[in-house]
Structure 1
């Protein structure tokens, strides 16, 4: 990362600002031009940094689970709530993932690098390869969410950018070509801040997994494993802290630095109201209910030990490391230990007097409406000097995904095996969970249930849930999203005993609370929501685009 940010300091403003950034996202212009000079290898390296700037958004990763049953975003202006509850439309699409700014930069770099006379061949090939990986990732994101988009090279005139959309299959082929061409020229060793072989393979792996290309998904996962440079972090929670940013589990993350390129607002947006946070993106009770008990049984299995009045007791340790729940201890931005209480309307202050509870869901817009907040990336809050401007680096790809992708693909291809169990066990046991019960999960169908659940809780809050509930099917053949995103989103109702010594049992939940008391919002998911609506502004700017996605 150090070298990358040296380039950022030296050249991002001069290189990135004169790129094609936004040329396909703004009102059409009659003539496109760029004044960047391309004379040295350093020019190309600086411009590559401009391509990296925005290759992925750390804030978007953290918000993405709000488009699923595992997250909720209250503040409508942020754009994620409309997609989560199914009220988006072409004219009001909510958060938009459609854009060609980064692709435009990559296209320009790929063209102009050929004008540099003295750049060493190996360096030139690496720069080209990294630009192709960035471009492929952009197309992958849009293609999966929108279902086919225009493939645009570098036009000289704005009219040349007004192209019809390609089919989803055509865009997939374009992505595969970019990644396959890039792979031989990428660095194998982990270079923080750059996309190397592991990242290129991870994009190819995830893309294949999302489309059910099991053989490709498995093979790419195996290629990452065979690189021999990634391993699971021993401490699951530390992986999502500043201290864990150099972990060998991380294949790619969005890089931020406090004093140079900070991640603005995201961490403050996640923290609770009582410490000055916005509670903009919060977990849900649906997620809490997905975690197994620490004995490996689900909460609805006989003998699990689950107590609905104390739902946080004796659960998978990842629940507490991922979610700050009522009754749990947490550290505020000043490092003081507090007890999280989102259940009681009033609480007792340090002087023994009753006062309004700022974290009660109805106390303020900035109170978590689900009564839960995230621990991932926020615990401890005092690791950041300023919660509104941090060096948090949200992870895009990590090794646990490789292991669980291999397991899912291999199970779909050939069913359970010792190899599949072993890879799942690596992830489970790292978190303190027991090995897979091979007798219970002895069939493809049963093991699929476990793999889906394991993936759900392992990556909660990391932005993968929406894609999973779109691609996974229930016994009825419907997308899982049609089940989990239709109906009321509910919170837990109860009280917190601040004098209790066990954080897992301080909260007493009332399972029989009325639906009205528990309601957060009603959600709708129709089959055509598999794809997001193309923003109407895109179609208005490009009459050759074609029709919007069916149903909109």
Structure 2
């Protein structure tokens, strides 16, 4: 991409991010993008499509990429304040600002795409160069936005051209009609895209097939128009087209920090990314800052015990089945993705507060004690210092208090740039998802063959986990369990489970009650800790995954038999099945009553 194009892309992103929350999406269309006669040249089309990419800079929390936030609206994670997470305690309502922002942001993408596609129609025969490629990108980005909306809201209006305020007041379109249109629309432009985009961050043919697979997997799981089988076939075939065209990175951890993302194998796996930069007009995010210890960050989002307990032991068995699991040392002998994704008590964490040598941080996490060990890089010694996660005015927000004993290591294990101004890219889609989507679609079709096992094995083997076990071969239910487990442990914090929870209808299992966590310590009358929780954990403190067949299938842990011994939060959390769909924002209903509201709101 030329320097001038990069400048326009970044500038557009900054403009969109600064205005996104305060305007209705119908008001966001710049005149230049919808004016008659604008898209007469390749350069104009490229500029218009760059404007579509700019709309993807959606911050659902302060300077936080949208996909990072989505999984915090599921049982895999939660926000800092108790009982306020969407779906946990009633925060989900038509006036919720995050809900409105998600609706508006995706329709902004659709609006921009429609303006470019319709505006260029009179000149299609004359457009040269990469014009067709750019227009294909516009179609894929439109499909991506509609996939997000279908997942969150169900029926939404299907717009294929720029709309006026009057035209916006229409009834919503049935989901299968939208999906069928998008699948056909993308089929028509696939050959106009290269298999690997020459500019990182642009969609290519692999991404197009990936979005097609996502849409079809959603439609198949929810059986739109009673065509579930047909959609699963489309999902499997779309994912199959990508298999072999891209490869997994050698090292899982490289995917989520700046140094690792410079490697060619990471670029190959990362199909679709939100691009950030520390050059020129800087564009940065603060993922790590909102995830790490209070000793050097501002913890605001926390992984759940439900996620932590989903990771198998190294023998490939779930923790309630493996002799390798020890409640005193739950971090030991686990799937390496456990320690790649999560930090917990007694882990050595590293970070950087300003992107220089003086900003380096290295310390021991402690969920119990008011002091901990902190490394001095000048003297190269470990010293005892105040543990801000326990002993500070803001300790209430920490992984020990607002959380349940875990922090996100993904995107936080950053040694060379500031966790408050990160420029590593945020991954929206990667090859591992393609492999697991292929496997899931084939499993739902009960087409269990070697290609299914090979797809899952590739993902597991990358992290040194064993192949699909013999007892699962040919068993649809056991394979369904495994692929769902893999999607959680492989793709956590990447926004994928936001859809998976809805597709699998497990919102009640994940969100119907309190969140439990680390073992509580024994304290003296003055509050001093006598015995730390992990030291006094007993062998029977292993969660029950078999409370019901659904719990077992979806690896949902239950802690009822020893919950009094555990850290607890979200005491008032509840689930209502209406939460499977977000409400249509009240502002949109006020502007367009014909939209109608989702049931229950």
Q: TM-score range by the shorter chain?
A: 0.7 to 0.9
TM-score (norm 1): 0.86
Residue among 174, 177, 190 paired with 2:181? 174
Consecutive unaligned residues of structure 1, counting only runs of 5 or more, are: 473-478, 497-504
Distance 1:435 1:11 in 2: 43
* Counterpart for residue 500 of structure 1: none
* Counterpart for residue 347 of structure 2: 328
Residue among 411, 421, 427 paired with 1:377? 411
Distance 1:533 1:412 in 2: 29
Q: CA deviation at 1:271?
A: 2.1
Residue among 423, 426, 430 paired with 1:394? 426
Q: CA deviation at 1:458?
A: 0.8
Cα contact 1:85–1:485 (8 A) shared by 2: no
Distance 1:458 1:425 in 2: 12
Does 2:468 align with 1:468? Answer: no
* Counterpart for residue 502 of structure 1: none
* Counterpart for residue 300 of structure 1: 320
Distance 2:374 2:284 in 1: 33
TM-score (norm 2): 0.79
For residue 203 of structure 1, give the secondary structure of its aligned residue in structure 2: helix
* Counterpart for residue 433 of structure 1: 465
Does 2:519 align with 1:486? Answer: no
Q: CA deviation at 1:522?
A: 3.6
Does 2:95 align with 1:97? Answer: no
Q: CA deviation at 1:118?
A: 9.4
CA RMSD of superposed structures (Å): 3.2
Consecutive unaligned residues of structure 2, counting only runs of 5 or more, are: 59-63, 221-230, 353-358, 376-381, 523-531, 542-561
* Counterpart for residue 597 of structure 2: 548
Distance 2:469 2:53 in 1: 43
Residue among 20, 23, 26 paired with 2:24? 26
Residues 513 and 27 (structure 1 numbering): CA distance in 2 closer, same or farther, change over 3 Å? Answer: closer
Q: CA deviation at 1:93?
A: 5.7
Q: CA deviation at 1:312?
A: 0.9
For residue 264 of structure 1, give the secondary structure of its aligned residue in structure 2: coil
For residue 337 of structure 1, give the secondary structure of its aligned residue in structure 2: strand
Distance 1:252 1:373 in 2: 25
Does 2:209 align with 1:204? Answer: no
* Counterpart for residue 539 of structure 1: 589
* Counterpart for residue 158 of structure 2: 151
For residue 217 of structure 1, give the secondary structure of its aligned residue in structure 2: helix
Residues 156 and 444 (structure 1 numbering): CA distance in 2 closer, same or farther, change over 3 Å? Answer: closer
Cα contact 1:360–1:367 (8 A) shared by 2: no
* Counterpart for residue 302 of structure 2: 282
Residue among 218, 230, 237 paired with 2:236? 218
* Counterpart for residue 475 of structure 1: none
Q: CA deviation at 1:404?
A: 1.3
Residue among 272, 275, 284 paired with 1:255? 275
* Counterpart for residue 316 of structure 1: 335
Distance 2:154 2:392 in 1: 37
* Counterpart for residue 148 of structure 2: 141
Cα contact 1:230–1:250 (8 A) shared by 2: no
Residues 116 and 175 (structure 1 numbering): CA distance in 2 closer, same or farther, change over 3 Å? Answer: closer
Cα contact 2:371–2:384 (8 A) shared by 1: no
Cα contact 2:388–2:395 (8 A) shared by 1: no
Distance 1:515 1:149 in 2: 46
Q: CA deviation at 1:447?
A: 1.6
Cα contact 2:272–2:428 (8 A) shared by 1: yes
Q: CA deviation at 1:10?
A: 4.4
Distance 1:524 1:438 in 2: 39
Residues 12 and 118 (structure 1 numbering): CA distance in 2 closer, same or farther, change over 3 Å? Answer: farther
Cα contact 2:5–2:47 (8 A) shared by 1: yes
Distance 1:339 1:416 in 2: 45
Cα contact 1:410–1:420 (8 A) shared by 2: yes
For residue 389 of structure 1, give the secondary structure of its aligned residue in structure 2: coil
Cα contact 1:208–1:214 (8 A) shared by 2: yes
Q: CA deviation at 1:356?
A: 5.1
Distance 2:391 2:306 in 1: 19
For 1:337-391, what per-residue CA distance to the aligned partner results, in whole angstroms no more than 9, with x for missing partners?
3111123345467897774543579953431222211111111x2232x322221
Q: CA deviation at 1:535?
A: 0.9
Q: Which piece of structure 1 moves more, 109-118 or 134-143? A: 109-118
Matched residue pairs, number?
524
For 1:33-81, what per-residue CA distance to the aligned partner results, in whole angstroms no more than 9, with x for missing partners?
54865554222212211111123646211111111111111158xx982
Q: Which piece of structure 1 moves more, 215-224 or 278-287? A: 278-287
For residue 363 of structure 2, give the secondary structure of its aligned residue in structure 1: strand
* Counterpart for residue 564 of structure 2: 514
Cα contact 2:40–2:127 (8 A) shared by 1: no
Distance 2:13 2:338 in 1: 44
Does 2:77 align with 1:71? Answer: yes
Residues 39 and 17 (structure 1 numbering): CA distance in 2 closer, same or farther, change over 3 Å? Answer: farther
* Counterpart for residue 87 of structure 1: 91
Residue among 291, 294, 316 paired with 2:311? 291
Residues 8 and 80 (structure 1 numbering): CA distance in 2 closer, same or farther, change over 3 Å? Answer: farther
* Counterpart for residue 224 of structure 2: none
